[in-house]
């Protein structure tokens, strides 16, 4: 009798037990360097349950408990990994992926997305593998990320030789360029012929042209999101290169018994050093003594430290500058001019795994772009100063911000992300023009600092509605406060993918964006003298609405993914 009661109880409770949900989570890293890998595909074999690692390599799947389940991890350029495990309780599983074996043959390859990825709700997104980027032809020995992106569909390069991106009808100032979560306002070196991004220090590059997730805001046309390498944790590595106009060197390695790692990467031109002796020889017998010069440099640095199994701290920064100078010395006059500009960014991030289903990232962000123009003309009559003229102009935009993002995985059908951001903009332009014979005692430059606050709160959900339909719905509420007015703008976002067959998907998206800082430009070239100014009570924020529809088809032979997209985009309050 007891046996029958026990058997009946077991049979009745089994369906309830079978429906029990458990979580599988962890980090995916590169074998050897221990770099965390973003965008790795994680899925259950034979099911539609899938996820992707976030920007810090963290993943989470909530699935029914099982005695045996096969988990697959795949990432372009790395060996696929499969694990068969028993899932009866919440489990943490960290995975290390090894790079794929290199073949002796020369292979021209493109990314064939996995079935679960090709039917992602995200559309109008391009990912550029860094290893492929390093194989493209180089201009003067420099492999430029921005030049590669100019070759992508939906992107135009504008003026020949420039690094600006014109995405779906928008200008370069309408692109949100992010390096380790810090905004980069000017991405040009050498008056636009090279970008400020050293590919030796970059880990991932993603360009989103439409269907923007709710976590992004502040620009109208595109989002270029880049992450720097973390630094190898296995041993000290070095990489360098010598080009026609610049050289670069990168060092990375472990610290503190491999609990931490560092990366430092530098690049500098030597045009000025090579040109000096040639200019001196050319002016050997000339009365005119001219000293022109130009150089630029970049410095990327990053430090990360494991505070424990669930906490990690990052410190990263970028510092770069261009400087052009000219001086001419004759018997009757002396003239000089200088132009310099540069970016500086710094980010401190704290990653915390709150539990098996929740990941939190909090960041403090600093960004600064400034440029200065100075010129002076001194005229002499019989070695006596008779005329003195000077012009000096400086401008900058400086950001100090804080943001916190939460990734929440409540079930296999939902991946929720929400967060809050706030940035203080500071714009203090100044100008001074004087003339006479004693300009050293001239008045101070005219300056008027403008402060403004930009903030936003957002939430988005990637929802597997049913096996053939997946969507990402989100909402962002942005606000911008000046000294005299406050703007509050809603920004709805939605994108969806409908699976029409095993290898064919139809996608659609709609997004509204607002831009609160504007670029005033005298030319279309994108010179550093262009001025960033905030929205005011008279100048409204720029606004865009973009709808897109397209198809994605996976082809097995050859292994490529073919996409076709069309879009409609309307922009209001554009500055010209």
Q: What DSSP string runs through 278-290?
A: HHHHHTTT-S-EE
| pLDDT interval class at 159 (50, 70, 90) | low
CB–CB of 99/78 below 8 Å? Answer: yes
pLDDT above 80 (res 163):
no
Q: Among 139-143, 237-241, 268-272, which stretch is predicted with the lowest mean pLDDT?
A: 139-143
Which one of 157-161, 190-194, 253-257, 419-423 scores highest in mean pLDDT? 419-423
| pLDDT interval class at 361 (50, 70, 90) | very high
CA distances from 7 to 4, 18, 127 (A): 5, 16, 55
pLDDT at 15: 44
Q: Which helix (H) or strand (E) holds 311?
A: strand 311-329
- Distance CA(122)–CA(468), nearest Å, equals 15
pLDDT at 52: 86
- Distance CA(178)–CA(197), nearest Å, equals 11
CB–CB of 282/316 below 8 Å? Answer: no
Between 431 and 567, name the one with better pLDDT. 567
Nearest to 412 by CA among 465, 333, 481: 465
pLDDT above 60 (res 12):
no
- Distance CA(247)–CA(456), nearest Å, equals 41
- Distance CA(71)–CA(24), nearest Å, equals 10
Nearest to 373 by CA among 410, 336, 344: 336
Q: Tokens in use for 400?
A: 């100090």
Between 203 and 245, name the one with better pLDDT. 203
Question: Which residue, chain included where needed, has tokens 């620009």?
Answer: 219
Neighbouring-strand partners of residue 466 = 469
Span 64-116, pLDDT tens digits: 888 888 899 988 778 888 888 888 888 889 999 887 655 445 554 544 444 44
Burial of 28 from C-beta contacts in 10 A (0-12 / 13-18 / 19+): buried
Span 47-76, pLDDT tens digits: 778 888 888 889 988 888 888 888 999 887
Q: Tokens in use for 201?
A: 């220090």
Neighbouring-strand partners of residue 69 = 85
Give exposure, 371-406, as e/b (b: 16+ Cβ within 10 Å).
bbbbbbbbeeeeeeeeebebebbbbbbbbebebebb
Q: What is the DSSP letter of 139?
A: B
Domains of the chain: 18-97 (2.60.40.1120), 115-572 (2.40.170.20)
Q: Which helix (H) or strand (E) holds 11?
A: helix 2-18
pLDDT average, residue stretch 448-474: 91
pLDDT at 443: 54
- Distance CA(360)–CA(60), nearest Å, equals 13
CB–CB of 204/229 below 8 Å? Answer: no
Between 36 and 366, name the one with better pLDDT. 366
């Amino acid at each position: 009798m007891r046996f029958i009661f026990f058997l009946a109880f077991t049979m009745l409770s089994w369906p309830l037990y079978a429906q029990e949900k458990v979580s599988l989570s962890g980090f995916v890293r590169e074998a050897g360097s221990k770099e965390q890998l973003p965008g790795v595909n994680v899925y259950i074999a034979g099911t539609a349950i899938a996820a992707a690692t976030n920007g810090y390599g963290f993943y989470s799947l909530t699935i029914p408990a099982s005695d045996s389940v096969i988990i697959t991890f795949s990432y372009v350029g790395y060996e696929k990994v499969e694990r068969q495990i028993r899932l009866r309780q919440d489990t943490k599983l960290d995975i290390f992926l090894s790079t794929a074996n290199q073949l002796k043959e020369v292979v021209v390859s493109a990314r064939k997305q996995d079935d679960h990825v090709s039917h992602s709700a995200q559309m109008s997104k391009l990912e550029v593998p860094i290893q492929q980027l390093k194989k493209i032809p180089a201009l003067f020995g420099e492999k430029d990320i921005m030049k590669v992106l100019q070759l992508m569909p939906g992107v135009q390069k504008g003026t020949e030789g420039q690094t600006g991106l014109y995405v779906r009808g928008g200008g370069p100032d309408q692109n949100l360029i992010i390096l380790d979560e810090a905004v980069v306002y000017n991405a040009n070196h050498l008056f636009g012929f090279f970008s400020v991004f050293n590919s030796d220090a970059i880990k991932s590059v993603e360009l989103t042209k439409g269907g923007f997730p709710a976590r992004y805001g502040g620009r109208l046309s595109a989002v270029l999101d880049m992450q720097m390498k973390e630094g190898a944790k296995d041993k000290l590595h070095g990489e360098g290169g010598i080009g026609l106009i610049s050289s670069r060197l990168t060092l990375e390695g472990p610290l503190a018994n491999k609990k931490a790692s560092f990366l430092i990467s530098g690049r500098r031109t030597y045009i000025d050093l090579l040109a000096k002796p040639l200019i001196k020889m050319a002016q050997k017998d000339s009365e005119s003594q001219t000293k022109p010069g130009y150089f630029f440099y970049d410095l990327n640095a990053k430090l990360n430290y494991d505070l424990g199994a669930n906490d990690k701290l990052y410190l990263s920064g970028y510092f770069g500058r261009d400087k052009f100078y000219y001086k001419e010395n004759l018997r009757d006059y002396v003239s000089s001019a200088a132009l310099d500009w540069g970016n500086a960014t710094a980010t401190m991030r704290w990653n915390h795994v709150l539990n098996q289903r929740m990941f939190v990232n909090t960041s403090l962000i600093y960004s600064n772009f400034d440029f200065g123009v100075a010129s002076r003309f001194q005229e002499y009559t019989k070695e006596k100063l008779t005329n003195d003229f000077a012009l000096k102009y400086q401008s900058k935009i400086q950001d100090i911000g804080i943001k916190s993002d939460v990734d929440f995985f409540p079930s296999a059908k939902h991946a929720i992300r929400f967060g809050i951001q706030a940035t203080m903009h500071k714009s203090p332009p100044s100008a001074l023009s004087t003339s006479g014979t004693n300009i050293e005692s001239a008045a101070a430059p005219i300056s008027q600092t403008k402060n403004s606050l930009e903030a936003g709160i957002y939430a988005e959900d990637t929802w597997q509605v049913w096996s053939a339909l997946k969507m990402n719905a989100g909402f962002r509420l942005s606000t911008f406060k000046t000294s005299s007015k406050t703007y509050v703008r809603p920004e709805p976002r939605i994108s969806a993918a409908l699976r029409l067959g095993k290898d064919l998907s139809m996608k659609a998206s709609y997004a509204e964006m607002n831009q609160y800082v504007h670029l005033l430009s005298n030319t279309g070239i994108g010179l550093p003298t262009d001025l960033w100014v905030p929205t005011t009570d008279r100048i409204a924020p720029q606004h865009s609405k973009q709808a897109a529809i397209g198809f994605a088809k996976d082809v097995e032979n050859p292994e490529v993914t073919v996409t076709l997209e069309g879009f409609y985009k309307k922009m209001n309050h554009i500055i010209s």
